[in-house]
Structure 1
Amino acid sequence: MSLEPFGARLRRAMEDRGPLCVGIDPHASLLTQWGLSDDVAGLERFSMTVIEALADRVAVLKPQSAFFERFGSRGIAVLEKSVGVARAAGALVVMDAKRGDIGSTMAAYAETFLHKDAPLFSDALTVSPYLGYGSLKPAVELARESGAGLFVLALTSNPEGGEVQHAVRADGRNVGATMLGHLAAENAGETPLGSFGAVVGATLGDLSSYDLDINGPLLAPGIGAQGAAASDLAGVFGAAVRNVVPNVSRGVLRHGPGMIALRESADRFAEEIRAALASA
């Protein structure tokens, strides 16, 4: 049986736990900072600590697949375990893999992360549309079938993104706006929230020239270490701020390996975000 649509599950999690996504980013320097070895044992200890500390209290956990893949098959095994344990504890899992390809290859990526019986099945997947939005069709279709969601790169926080995302098409719209338009069409008529979201950086300043009302979630990296604050969200996202899922990684993870400190940091960010949204 398919799950309830991701958008509905995400809206409920955001209301119950607050709209916070915490990344699981076990890069080498952070493992060292935690006093862990840069190997599979350190990887597993890091991931399980974050999950034990946070999976019962934050809405979303977002493992970055690359930091697991670098250890080969044993790292993927840790990723598989992490996804299962986090979901069992009640967190929604967004797999940050940024996959993008065409035809049967895109279908295989979708099967890997979005098929309900796949070992790495996640509640949502980040994807890249820069082989053309239509190239994502296999992932869109399988996500609908399984009750999962997608987060499509639209207006990312890295400065290099502008050379693609701000490029102007023949119709006068830029590429980022075009992606937002596609997502609005995917989410049309869905309640309480569509399952097809966009990645939109919280560091981008005033985005009032874009229609961010896509009736879907907006995954917003940039809070914390990248310089954006919860108080910036309303100014960046305007009326769409209610659908924003701010992502914090280093801002929380740097407080490890102590679980109490991790929890306190996540709770602090969640409360700041709640307060900012309440005053928006």
Structure 2
Amino acid sequence: MSPAEAFGARLRRAMDTRGPLCVGIDPHASLLSAWGLDDDVAGLERFARTTVEALAGRVAVLKPQSAFFERFGSKGVAVLERTVADARAAGALVLMDAKRGDIGSTMAAYAATYLDPGSPLFSDAVTVSPYLGFGSLRPALDAAAASGCGVFVLALTSNPEGAEVQRATAAGGRSLAQVMLDHIAAENAGAEPLGSVGAVVGATLGDAGADLAVNGPLLAPGIGAQGATPADLPAVFGASVGDVVPSVSRAILRHGPGAAALGEAAERFSDEVRAAVGHRNERFR
């Protein structure tokens, strides 16, 4: 696989062969405890390694939540580096859930951290926040394009507090979220089979109330612990449901620490997603 191949193309292939599912690696203290692990670096490493071993060969995307590693300082970041490398080596695409957002040289530094092939945290994609203005993301967008990576832009998130910003009316009468979605669509114009700039749109919204035709992937958090189910996806995403990458974390991770149980839980969710969105999976054809 060429390292310059666009993320959108790599993601579409992964979705078609493994099913359109993203599993978060979220080592909450409560999950470590439920697995019988201590809330320390050793517990973190065991949790992350088990999750990667169980799922990296099965699902399209693994999504480490950076904050749960960073809380342990440099040793936690070292575990995150190994987690990313091991997951990618096993065939999963890695989406770093970092939600970075800044301007100028600082945004460029974040881009170098996650989107430069020479970085120890190099990932296939990263989540970013556009609410310092979409133009502030340019260093990340350019770095991603250069390295064949992706960027997922927060648009309509699953947390209820997000509405006060994302649903606010911008110039011209569009919601601020729609402004961001329109920028994403412009970035993806002409891309085939799928653009590399994605949007984060919560599966809990009921009705997105926005034009989601961005020609890019739609990361859909909120399934499982936050209350949404795969059956909710068509109502939220409409005609764009085929580009949805549902994200599930605790509802799968709670089945650990056994690798077999984790894998079975992921397969069940993947089957439910395929049934809900009519998505093919080459492994079962």
The TM tier, using the shorter chain, reads over 0.9
**1:117 Cα shift?**
1.2
**How much has 1:206 moved relative to structure 2?**
1.5
Q: What is the TM-score when the length of structure 1 is the normalising length?
A: 0.98
What's the secondary structure of 2:203's corresponding residue? Answer: coil
What SS does the aligned partner of 1:180 have?
A: helix
Aligned to 1:7: 8
Q: Does 1:262 align with 2:256?
A: no
Residue type at the aligned position of 1:157: S
Please say if residues 107 and 138 of structure 1, whose CA atoms lie closer than 8 Å, have aligned partners that are also in contact: yes
Partner of 1:189: 190
Distance in 2, matches of 1:83 and 1:112, equals: 13
**Distance apart, 1:169 and its partner CA:** 1.0
Give unmatched runs, 5+ long, in structure 2: 280-285
1:80-125 deviation per Cα after TM superposition (whole angstroms, max 9, x unaligned): 0000000000000000000000000000000000011111000000
What secondary structure, in the 3-state scheme, does the structure 2 residue paired with 1:160 have? helix
Aligned equivalents of 1:34, 1:265: Cα separation in 2: 15
Please say if residues 2 and 145 of structure 1, whose CA atoms lie closer than 8 Å, have aligned partners that are also in contact. Answer: no
* Residue matched to 1:220: 220
Distance in 2 (CA, whole Å) between partners of 1:223 and 1:40 is 28
CA distance, structure 1, for counterparts of residue 229 and residue 161 of structure 2: 22
Whole-Å Cα distance in 1 between the matches of residues 264 and 80 of structure 2? Answer: 25
Give the TM-score taking structure 2 as reference length.
0.96
1:167 aligns with 2:156: no
Aligned length: 279
Give the Cα separation in 2 of the matches to 1:126 and 1:227: 22
CA distance in 2, matches of 1:187, 1:56: 28
CA RMSD of aligned residues (A): 1.1
Q: Which runs of 5+ in 1 are unaligned?
A: none
- Cα distance, 1:170 vs structure 2: 2.2
1:203 partner amino acid = T
Residue of structure 1 in register with 2:238 after alignment: 238
After superposition, the C-alpha distances for 1:112-155 in whole angstroms (9 at most, x for unaligned) are 00011111000000000011000000000000000000000000
- Tell me what 2:139 maps to: 138
User: What does residue 272 of structure 1 align with?
Assistant: 272
List per-residue Cα deviations over 1:135-194 (Å, max 9, x = no partner): 000000000000000000000000000011011012100110000000000000000000
> Equivalents in 1 of 2:50, 2:272: separation in Å?
24
